[in-house]
C-alpha cells in the first residue's frame, strides 16, 4: 500500500504529524506492506535564504495579531510537539527557503534514505537552530544519515532533483492539496493536518480494505449448516 505525505521541512505541524503517523503505523497490522514516500511542498517558495527579525513579530504581522498572541500560538505548537516527544526551539530557529532541503530529500530517496533525511532536516531546523538553506549545512547533515558528501555537493551545485521537487508541488495542486501535512493512501483516500494517531490508523485500515475488497457472492440454490 502506498502512502504519500506532502509536507514542508519548516512546517511545525508536519513534524508533529510525522510522529503521529509513525505511532499509527506502529499499530497497523500490515505495516510491513506500507511504502511511504515524502513529497515536497514549499509553504513559501519565495522565501529568502534566511529571514531576518523576530519570528513572533513576523507572524503577528502576517496574521494581523498582536506579538503576544503570536508568541502564544508558538507556545501552543511547542506544547503539542512536546506531547509527541519533540523539542521545538522557536527562539533559535532560522527560517528561510526550503527548496534545496527538498532536493536533498529526493537525493536521499534515490539512496534508500529518504525518511532518515527528512527526520534529520526537521530536527536540525526545529530543535537545533540550523539553517537548512545553507548548502554546507545540508552536505553535513546528509553525511550524518549515510549519504556521500561529494554526490550531495555536486547535486546541490547543479539543478539535480529540482524538477522532482516542482513535480511534487504540481501534483499537490492537481490533487487539491493546499495545506500540509496531507496524507494520501493509494491516491484514493487522504487526510489533511496533524491528525491524532487513531485517525491515521483508521485511514490506513480503510485504505487496506479498499485494496483488498471482499468477494462478491451471488446467491442461488445451495446448502447451509441448517440443511438443504
User: What is the four-CA torsion angle of 159, 164, 170, 172, rounded to 10 degrees?
Assistant: -130
**Residue 94 contacts residue 49 (beta carbons within 8 Å):** no
pLDDT confidence band for 221 (50 / 70 / 90): low
Number of Cβ within 10 Å of residue 213's Cβ equals 7
Q: How confident is the model at residue 225 (pLDDT cuts 50, 70, 90)?
A: very low
pLDDT at 8 exceeding the cut of 90: yes
Percent above pLDDT 90 for the chain: 90
Tens of pLDDT, residues 158-169: 999 999 999 999
Q: Which helix (H) or strand (E) holds 72?
A: helix 67-82
Residue 211, pLDDT score: 86
Q: What angle do CA 187, 182, 178 make, to 5 degrees?
A: 100
Residue 9: φ, ψ to 5°: -65, -40
**228 has a pLDDT exceeding 50:** no
Q: Which set of grid coordinates corresponds to residue 49? A: 535564504
Cell of 61: 504581522
Dump the DSSP string for 77-130.
HHHHHHTTT----TTT------HHHHHHHHHHHHTT-HHHHHHHHHHHHHTT--
Give the three-state DSSP class for 9: coil
Mean pLDDT of 59-67: 92
pLDDT higher than 90, residue 37:
yes
- Asked if the model's pLDDT at residue 220 lies above 70, the reply is no
Q: Cell numbers 549545512 label which residue?
A: 137
Note if the pTM is more than 0.85: yes
Residue 224 has pLDDT above 50, yes or no: no
Closest residue by Cα to residue 23 from 12, 31, 13 = 31
Amino acid at each position: 500500500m502506498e502512502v504519500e505525505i506532502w509536507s514542508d521541512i519548516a512546517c511545525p505541524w508536519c513534524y508533529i504529524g510525522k510522529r503521529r503517523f509513525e505511532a499509527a503505523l506502529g499499530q497497523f497490522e500490515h505495516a510491513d506492506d506500507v511504502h511511504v514516500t515524502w513529497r515536497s511542498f514549499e509553504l513559501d517558495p519565495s522565501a529568502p535564504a534566511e529571514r531576518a527579525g523576530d519570528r513572533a513579530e513576523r507572524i503577528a504581522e502576517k496574521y494581523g495579531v498582536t506579538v503576544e498572541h503570536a508568541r502564544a500560538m508558538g507556545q501552543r505548537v511547542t506544547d503539542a510537539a512536546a506531547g509527541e516527544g519533540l523539542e521545538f526551539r522557536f527562539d533559535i530557529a532560522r527560517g528561510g527557503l526550503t527548496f534545496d532541503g527538498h532536493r536533498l530529500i529526493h537525493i536521499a530517496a534515490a539512496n534508500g534514505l529518504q525518511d532518515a533525511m527528512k527526520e534529520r532536516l526537521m530536527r536540525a531546523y526545529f530543535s537545533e537552530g540550523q539553517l537548512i538553506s545553507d548548502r554546507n549545512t545540508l552536505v553535513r547533515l546528509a553525511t550524518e544519515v549515510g549519504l556521500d558528501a561529494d554526490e550531495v555537493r555536486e547535486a546541490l551545485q547543479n539543478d539535480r532533483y529540482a524538477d522532482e521537487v516542482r513535480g511534487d508541488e504540481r501534483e499537490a495542486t492537481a490533487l487539491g492539496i493546499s495545506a500540509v501535512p496531507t496524507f494520501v493512501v493509494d491516491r484514493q483516500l487522504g487526510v489533511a493536518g496533524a491528525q491524532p494517531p487513531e485517525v491515521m490508523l483508521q485511514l490506513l485500515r480503510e485504505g487496506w480494505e479498499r485494496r483488498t475488497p471482499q468477494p462478491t457472492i451471488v446467491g442461488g440454490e445451495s446448502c447451509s449448516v441448517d440443511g438443504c
